[in-house]
Amino acid sequence: MGTDMTYEEIEAYKKSVIEKEKKDAYKFVIVLIVGCVLLFVFPPLGMILIVIAFIMDIILCFKCLRTRRKNPEIWKKPNSKYSVNNTYAVSESQQSLHKQGTNDRRGMNVAQKAVTSYALGKAATTMMDAGKQNVKPENPNAERYAKAQRDAMNHRNLSSTRKNGRETVRFKNGGNGYIEIESNGAQYLVDYGHRRIGSYDPIRNETYNKNGKKVGKGNLLKTLL
């Protein structure tokens, strides 16, 4: 496309190009907005649409640059210089119409930029919120473990004020023994030969046999008789 075009032909060509660019821009904005909405409903699909929208934006910018570089004399120089013999004079009414159309296009470009900026900001905020929602919460059992540890410490402090005790028991084989109770709450099962054959840990609330193997939860020393 050279300089052998009339003013009307140049204006028609520029108008058709701009209308096509507007349609592509509307498609980009619609895809971006739909992607932002889907981030709340179906995040994987929303992320895919946002990526597609950015690719569409890059393609649109590339097309605009290629179109304007292909015919730079049409887009950069005043249209009044283009005619069949470069002597075509544009009337004042045509110049006013051209100026009004240019202002309208500028206003439309500003509106498109505003919508695009808002959509991009909304997408960034949504992605940040989604990232915050995906943060794993703390261990729900941490508070329970801390409470159990505090209770054990309180139990130990209370037990430290108690004196050692002893409870006499009888084994199934007929021998006598006893359960030795320490001041810290720990208990030991002692047989008639004064050998410890079991122990109870109040902090862990577990019972162990003479080999140190766990028998179960709670005080189960009498089950070892």
pLDDT for position 207: 92
Select from 89, 71, 99 the least CA-distant residue to 1: 71
Report the domain count for the chain: 2
Do residues 113 and 185 share a domain? no
Portion of the chain with pLDDT greater than 70, in percent: 70
Q: Indicate if 80 and 174 belong to the same structural domain.
A: no
Instruction: Render pLDDT for 91-108 as a digit per residue (tens, 0 to 9).
Output: 555 566 666 666 555 655
Domain assignment of residue 150, yes or no: no
Domain limits for position 186: 159-224
Q: Which has the higher per-residue pLDDT, 126 or 38?
A: 38
The answer to whether residue 90 scores a pLDDT higher than 50 is: no
Residue with tokens 């120089």: 77
One domain for residues 206 and 102: no
Residue pair 74/1 in contact (Cβ under 8 Å)? The answer is: yes
Q: pTM score, two decimals? A: 0.31
- Domain-located, residue 153: no
Note whether 30 and 86 are same-domain residues.
Answer: yes
Together in a domain, 33 and 107: yes
> Does the residue 139 lie in any domain?
no
Inform me whether the pLDDT recorded for 33 exceeds 80.
yes
Confidence of residue 82 (pLDDT cuts 50, 70, 90): very low
- CA distance linking residue 197 with residue 165, whole number of Å: 18
Determine how many CB atoms are found less than 10 A away from the CB of residue 224: 19
